[in-house]
Structure 1
Amino acid sequence: MSVPVQPQLNARFGINAFSYDYNGNTSDVDYDAKLIMRTFDALLDYYPMSGNFRLSGGVVYNGNKIDANGRPGAGGVYTLNGRTYAASTVGSVDAQVDFRKFAPYLGIGWGNAVAKNKGWGFSTDLGVLFQGSPRTSMTHTGCTLASPLCAMLAADIADENRDLQNEVNDLKAFPVLRIGVSYSF
């Protein structure tokens, strides 16, 4: 939804939702992962030449995250930090990657949903969501090993979490491509 603020300035609000299932891995563990993208945008669009080209900036509520479930390797084992554990004794290994909840957005685009011309309009955006350093967490539940071995597993899971953190550190800036359609009466 776009609302005119001044002759060359619009306020724009949007909701985005998308999910994507994929398989990923770190050096030790394979994962069945789900990318969950949920954002709410509050942006200002500035039209410097009073045409369709725009510069956009604002803030995004960032509900993006990745949920992952570890998948045992060949022979039903997990290899964590060089140690091999039978999946039947480890239980489940789960991971989550989360991002800063409020993130700045900068972009350029084409199209003006509140232009005076009537009918159909098309728009595009190319921008960057600066979501900061991702936070990772890994857990395991259902360890049936002896207490000292469960403690060693917990330490190995912590090392795996550090590996996962290194894998996702490049996700600080998230590219955004949008294509939109509007109709004005």
Structure 2
Amino acid sequence: MPDIEANVTGTPQNGMTYDLNGTDYSAAQISSVVGTATVSDGTQPYFGWGWRSSHKSGLGFFSEFGVVATDIDVSLYTTNGFENADQALQQDLRGEEESLKDDIDKLPVFPVALIGITYTF
């Protein structure tokens, strides 16, 4: 199974602020916040059920449904690296990472559904 990953960049507009671990930071203070969330990376346990219409030559159909175990990793940082100079900001980013990881961990498996067409020679 390929890696399942989301990459995001947050940039507040019109004087808005970031709420990181309960502390407000303005865009002027930290610029943009960049985040990566990886749900599955590498080899993970998988349980599924599949069906294939035929093993004979010609056109066929298949389907597969299952779940794959998740291995969550969340990373947040500022585009200008301000967290390297500000210990409080760094701790707030790590706290926000844990909060996001806890939210994603509420579903310990990721659903998988495949439907396709095959041609066997």
After TM superposition, is the score higher than 0.5? yes
Tell me if the contact between 1:91 and 1:143 (Cα under 8 Å) persists in the aligned partners.
no
Tell me if the contact between 2:15 and 2:27 (Cα under 8 Å) persists in the aligned partners.
no
User: Map of 1:11-26 to 2, 5 A cutoff?
Assistant: none
**Which structure's residues are more often helix, by fraction?**
2
Q: State the alpha-carbon separation in 2 of the partners of residues 83 and 106 from structure 1.
A: 41
- Structure with bigger gyration radius: 1
Moved over 3 A (4+): none
TM-score, normalised with respect to structure 2: 0.80
TM-score, normalised with respect to structure 1: 0.55
Aligned identity (percent) is: 30
Could you give the per-residue CA deviations for residues 88-147 of structure 1, whole angstroms, max 9, x where no partner exists? 22022111122341112221122156x12x32111111111123x3111211232669x5
Q: State the alpha-carbon separation in 1 of the partners of residues 50 and 98 from structure 2.
A: 38
Bigger RCO (CA 8 Å, 6+ sep):
2
Please tell me whether residue 177 in structure 1 is matched to residue 113 in structure 2. Answer: yes
**Which structure's residues are more often strand, by fraction?**
1
- Secondary structure at the aligned position of 1:103 is classed as coil
User: Map of 1:51-130 to 2, 5 A cutoff?
Assistant: 62-72=2-12, 75-98=15-38, 99-112=40-53, 115-116=55-56, 118-130=57-69
List gaps (5 residues or longer) in structure 1: 1-38, 40-61
Q: State the alpha-carbon separation in 2 of the partners of residues 68 and 125 from structure 1.
A: 30
Deviation at 1:182, TM superposition (A): 1.1
* 1:173–1:74 Cα change, 3 Å: farther
Could you give the per-residue CA deviations for residues 129-182 of structure 1, whole angstroms, max 9, x where no partner exists? 123x3111211232669x5xx222222111111111111113431111100101
Q: State the alpha-carbon separation in 2 of the partners of residues 80 and 157 from structure 1.
A: 6
Q: State the alpha-carbon separation in 2 of the partners of residues 171 and 101 from structure 1.
A: 19
Match of 1:163 among 92, 99, 108: 99
CA root-mean-square deviation: 2.4
